[in-house]
C-alpha cells in the first residue's frame, strides 16, 4: 500500500483525538500557518488525549483526509525563503523565488486581454458610459459590448444576485460560443456559471457521492482538486493509470480493468473524470480515443466529467482540441443518450484570469429531477460573482473579424499562445537534456511533468529524511535555486515512479536562467547521489 494512503488511514483513525489541545490560548501569531497535514511526506502525528472543553478540535475527518499539494509544503518553504531574501539579502544562492508550481499566469507577468478588461471595467462602473470622455479612454467595441451586457442584466444592476445558474443573457452568449466551437447546439438552460470551474466540480462530486461505496474514476496523474473533492465528499477515488511510455495515453483496457477491480471491492463507480488537455500531463487526446471513452461511459452507465479548462492551450499542430460534447454529438449520441458534464474556466487558456473566478459547467443528458437537485445546490450559494460571469461570456465570444479590437485582441492572444508553446518546448528540451530525467512533450495545458529516474542513493537519502523522493528532490531544488515545483506525489503516479510538475509560465526572459540553474543543480545532485 502506498505510503500516503497508509498515512491517511492512520490520520482518519486518529482524527477524533488528534486535535485537542490542553492549551487555552490558541491565537497564533506566526505569519505562516503550520501545514503539517499537507503532503504525503509528513509522518503521522502522535494522538493526544482529548480535552473535554474544546469542540472544534473534533472535526470532520473528511476535511482532515483531503489533501491539496499544489499549495503545500514546498510552497510554504518557498514563501519562507522569499521573506528571508527580503530580510537578509544574500542569504541564499539565488536572489528570487521562481514559482513554477501553479498555473497562475498573471502572477508571472502575463498581461490580461485588454478588450476583456475594458468591458469588465465599464460593467463595474456603468455610470461613466454616458460620459463623452469615456470614448477617449475605451475602445468603441468594448463600450458597445458593455451596453449589450448591461442590457441583459435586470436594472443593469451588476451588484445584484443573479439567477442561480447565471445571468440568462450571458448564458445565451456562452451557448452560442459553444455552438460556434463545436458545430452542435448548446442550451443555455444546461449552463451553470460558477466561481471558477472548481466549485462546479465540487457540486458534481457532492451530487454523485453518497458514501465510500461510490467511486469516481480519475486519471493518474491527476490535478489534485479531484482527489481532494472526492475525499471531502466521502467517496472513493478509483485510479486509472495514464501510460507515460505512450505520451500519457489513455487505454480503455486500463479503464475496464480498474472498473472491474473497483466493482469486486464493492465500489459502485459513478463517473469518469477526463482532463483534456491533461493536467499535469499535458497530453491532448486523439479524437478516436475520445470516441472510445464516450462508448465506454455509455456501455458502463458512467457520467463523463470532462475537464476542458485548457481547451485553448494546444501547442502541437498534429493535435486539436475537440470537446467531448462535440465528439459525442458527432457519434450520434444526443441529450438522451449520455450524461456529460463539461467544465470550462476563465483561469487558463490565453486569458489566465485565475483571480476573477469565472467558469461554467455544461450539464447534458440528465433527467429533470436531477437537474432540479443541481439547481438547488447552486441556489444555496445564490449565484457566482457577476464579474466572473461576464468574463466567461467574453471568453466564449471574443472580438470577431471586423470589430475594432479584433486585431489587437488577436495579437495579444497569439503572442501569449506562441510564447507558451516556445516555453513548453524549451523547458521540455532542458529536462530531457538532464541525466536521469525523461520528459514527455507538453502537447497542451501549462505544465511539464518530467520523470526523475533517481539513483538508489537518492531514494535512500529521501527515506532517511522521511520524505518522498520527489519531494526530497523538489526541496533540494528549491533550496539551491529558488525554483518552486510540485512533487509528483501530489498528483499521484505509478508507484515507484517519481516526477515533478513544473509550469511553463515563468516569463520568457527568465527561462534561460531557470534552465541554467536547474541544469547546474541537477548535475550537482547527480554527482552527490549517483550510484
Partner 1 sequence: MSTKGLDYESLNENVKNTQYAIRGELYLRALELQAQGKEIILTNVGNPHALGQKPITFPRQVVALCQAPFLMDDPNVGVLFPADAIARAKHYLSMTSGGLGAYCNGGGLLGIRKEVAEFIEKRDGYPSDPELIYLTDGASKGVMQILQTIIRGQGDGILVPVPQYPLYSAATSLFGGSLVPYYLEETANWGLDIQNLHQSVSEASAKGITVRAMVIINPGNPTGQCLSESSLKEILQFCNQENLVLLGDEVYQQNVYQEERPFISAKKVLMDMGPPMSKQVQLVSFHSVSKGYWGECGQRGGYFELTNIPPQTIDEIYKIASISLTNCTGQIFLGIMVNPPKPGDISYDGFLRESNAILGSLGKRARIMTKGFNSCRNVVCNSTEGAMYSFPQIRLPPKAVEAAKRAGKVPDVFYCLKLLEATGISTVPGSGFGQKDGVFHLRTTILAAEEDMHGIMASLKKFNDEFMEQYEDTTEAILGLNE
Provide φ and ψ at 459, rounded to 5°.
-65, -40
Of the residues 11, 145, 325, 357, which one makes contact with partner 1 according to CB under 8 A = 357
Q: Tell me which of 7, 41, 92, 118 binds partner 1, using CB under 8 A.
A: 118
Using CB under 8 A, which residues numbered 52 to 111 contact partner 1? Answer: 52-61, 63-64, 66-68, 71, 102, 104-110
CA-wise closest residue to 227 among 209, 243, 242, 244: 209
206 or 426: whose CB is closer to partner 1? 206
Geometric angle at alpha carbon 447, from 271 and 38, rounded to 5°: 70
**Binding residues among 216-255 for partner 1 as defined by CB under 8 A:** 225, 228-229, 232-233
Q: Which is nearer to partner 1, 287 or 337 (CB)?
A: 337
Q: Which of 73, 353, 443, 470 touches partner 1 by CB under 8 A?
A: 353
Euclidean distance between CA atoms 487 and 101, whole angstroms: 9
Residues 19-48 that bind partner 1 (CB under 8 A): 19-21, 24-31, 33-38
* Residue placing its CB nearer to partner 1 in the complex, 232 or 442: 232
Q: Does residue 49 bind partner 1 (CB under 8 A)?
A: no
377 vs 526 by CB, closer to partner 1: 377
Q: Should residue 148 be labelled a site residue for partner 1 when binding is judged by CB under 8 A?
A: no
Nearer to partner 1, 148 or 381 (CB): 381
Closer residue to partner 1, CB minimum distance, 121 or 459 = 121
Under the binding rule (CB under 8 A), the answer on residue 345 touching partner 1 is no
SS (H, E, C) 303-351: EEEEECCCCCCECCCCCCCCCHHHHHHHCCCCCCCCCEEEEEECCCCCC
Contact present, 484 and 75 (Cβ < 8 Å): yes
Q: Closest Cα partner for 107 from 355, 340, 323, 306? A: 355
Helix (H) or strand (E) holding 518: helix 511-529
Chain-centre distance for alpha carbon 459: 29
Residue identified by cell 490520520 is 11
d(CA 127, CA 143): 12
- Give dist(CA 197, CA 344) in Å, integer: 6
How many residues sit in the footprint of partner 1 (CB under 8 A)?
121
Residue 239: phi and psi, rounded to 5, are -80, 145
Which span sits near partner 1 by CB under 8 A: 258-266, 370-378, 458-466, 474-482?
Answer: 370-378
Residue 367 is a binding residue for partner 1 (CB under 8 A): yes
Q: Is 301 in the site for partner 1 (CB under 8 A)?
A: yes
Considering only residues 40, 41, 162, 276, which one is a binding residue for partner 1 as defined by CB under 8 A?
A: 162
Task: Supply the DSSP symbol for 499.
Answer: B
Report the residue from 86, 90, 130, 133 that binds partner 1 according to the rule CB under 8 A: 133
Closest to 321 measured CA to CA, from 294, 267, 353, 285: 285
Task: Report the residue from 85, 176, 286, 377 that binds partner 1 according to the rule CB under 8 A.
Answer: 377
Beta carbons of 18 and 48 less than 8 angstroms apart: yes
Nearer to partner 1, 381 or 410 (CB): 381
Binder to partner 1 among 12, 152, 330, 387 (CB under 8 A)?
387
Closest to partner 1 by CB, 113 vs 430, is: 113
225/458 with CB nearer partner 1: 225
Secondary element (H or E) of residue 274: strand 268-275
CB of 138 to partner 1, least distance (A): 8
Residues 390-449 that bind partner 1 (CB under 8 A): none
Helix (H, G, I), strand (E, B) or coil at 451: strand
Dihedral (Cα; 241, 245, 247, 248), 10-degree rounding: 10
- Which residues ranging from 187 to 216 are in contact with partner 1 (CB under 8 A)? 195-196, 198-199, 202, 206-210, 214
Any contact of residue 269 with partner 1 (CB under 8 A)?
yes
Regarding 380 and contact with partner 1 (CB under 8 A), the answer is yes
* Of 383, 310, 387, 316, the residue nearest 351 (C-alpha): 310
Cβ-based nearer residue to partner 1, 106 or 479: 106
| Least distance in angstroms from the C-beta of 479 to partner 1 | 22
| Residue whose CB is less far from partner 1, 70 or 511 | 70
Amino acid at each position: 500500500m502506498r505510503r500516503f494512503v497508509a498515512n491517511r488511514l492512520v490520520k482518519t483513525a486518529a482524527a477524533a483525538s488528534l486535535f485537542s489541545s490542553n492549551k487555552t490560548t490558541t491565537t497564533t501569531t506566526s505569519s505562516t500557518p503550520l501545514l503539517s497535514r499537507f503532503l504525503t511526506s509528513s509522518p503521522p502525528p502522535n494522538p493526544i488525549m482529548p480535552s473535554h472543553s474544546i469542540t472544534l478540535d473534533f472535526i470532520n475527518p473528511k476535511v482532515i483526509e483531503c489533501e491539496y499539494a499544489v499549495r503545500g509544503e514546498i510552497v510554504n518553504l518557498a514563501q519562507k525563503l522569499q521573506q528571508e531574501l527580503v530580510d537578509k539579502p544574500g542569504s541564499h544562492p539565488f536572489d528570487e523565488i521562481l514559482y513554477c508550481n501553479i498555473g497562475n499566469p498573471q502572477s508571472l507577468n502575463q498581461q490580461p486581454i485588454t478588450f476583456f478588461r475594458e468591458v469588465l471595467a465599464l460593467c463595474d462602473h456603468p455610470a461613466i458610459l454616458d460620459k463623452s470622455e469615456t470614448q477617449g479612454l475605451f475602445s468603441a467595441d468594448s463600450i458597445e459590448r458593455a451596453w449589450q451586457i448591461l442590457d441583459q442584466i435586470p436594472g443593469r444592476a451588476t451588484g445584484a444576485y443573479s439567477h442561480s445558474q447565471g445571468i440568462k443573457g450571458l448564458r445565451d452568449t456562452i451557448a452560442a460560443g459553444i455552438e460556434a466551437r463545436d458545430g452542435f447546439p448548446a442550451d443555455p438552460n444546461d449552463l451553470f456559471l460558477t466561481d471558477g470551474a472548481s466549485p462546479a466540480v465540487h457540486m458534481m462530486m457532492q451530487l454523485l457521492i453518497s458514501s465510500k461505496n461510490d467511486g469516481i474514476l480519475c486519471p493518474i496523474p491527476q490535478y489534485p482538486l479531484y482527489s481532494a473533492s472526492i475525499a471531502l465528499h466521502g467517496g472513493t477515488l478509483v485510479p486509472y493509470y495514464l501510460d507515460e511510455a505512450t505520451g500519457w495515453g489513455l487505454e480503455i483496457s486500463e479503464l475496464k480493468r480498474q472498473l472491474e477491480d473497483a466493482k469486486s471491492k464493492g465500489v459502485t463507480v459513478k463517473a469518469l473524470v477526463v482532463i483534456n488537455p491533461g493536467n499535469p500531463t499535458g497530453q491532448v487526446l486523439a479524437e478516436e480515443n475520445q470516441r472510445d471513452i464516450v462508448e465506454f461511459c455509455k456501455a458502463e452507465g458512467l457520467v463523463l466529467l470532462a475537464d476542458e479548462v485548457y481547451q485553448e492551450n494546444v501547442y502541437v499542430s498534429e493535435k486539436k482540441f475537440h470537446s467531448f460534447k462535440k465528439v459525442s454529438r458527432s457519434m450520434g449520441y444526443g441529450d438522451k443518450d449520455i450524461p456529460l458534464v463539461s467544465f470550462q474556466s476563465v483561469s487558463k487558456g490565453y486569458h489566465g484570469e485565475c483571480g476573477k473566478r469565472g467558469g461554467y459547467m455544461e450539464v447534458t443528458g440528465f433527467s429533470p429531477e436531477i437537474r432540479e437537485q443541481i439547481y438547488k445546490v447552486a441556489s444555496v450559494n445564490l449565484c457566482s460573482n457577476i464579474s466572473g460571469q461576464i468574463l466567461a461570456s467574453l471568453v466564449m465570444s471574443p472580438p470577431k473579424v471586423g470589430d475594432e479590437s479584433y486585431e489587437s485582441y488577436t495579437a495579444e492572444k497569439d503572442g501569449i499562445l506562441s510564447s507558451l508553446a516556445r516555453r513548453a518546448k524549451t523547458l521540455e528540451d532542458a529536462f530531457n537534456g538532464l541525466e536521469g530525467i525523461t520528459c514527455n512533450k507538453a502537447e497542451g495545458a501549462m505544465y511539464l511533468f518530467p520523470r526523475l529516474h533517481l539513483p538508489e542513493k537518492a531514494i535512500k537519502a529521501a527515506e532517511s529524511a522521511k520524505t518522498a523522493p520527489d519531494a526530497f528532490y523538489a526541496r533540494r531544488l528549491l533550496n539551491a535555486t529558488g525554483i518552486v515545483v510540485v512533487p509528483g506525489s501530489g498528483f499521484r503516479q505509478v508507484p515507484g515512479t517519481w516526477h515533478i510538475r513544473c509550469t511553463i509560465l515563468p516569463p520568457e526572459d527568465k527561462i534561460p536562467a531557470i534552465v541554467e540553474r536547474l541544469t547546474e543543480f541537477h548535475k550537482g545532485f547527480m554527482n552527490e547521489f549517483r550510484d
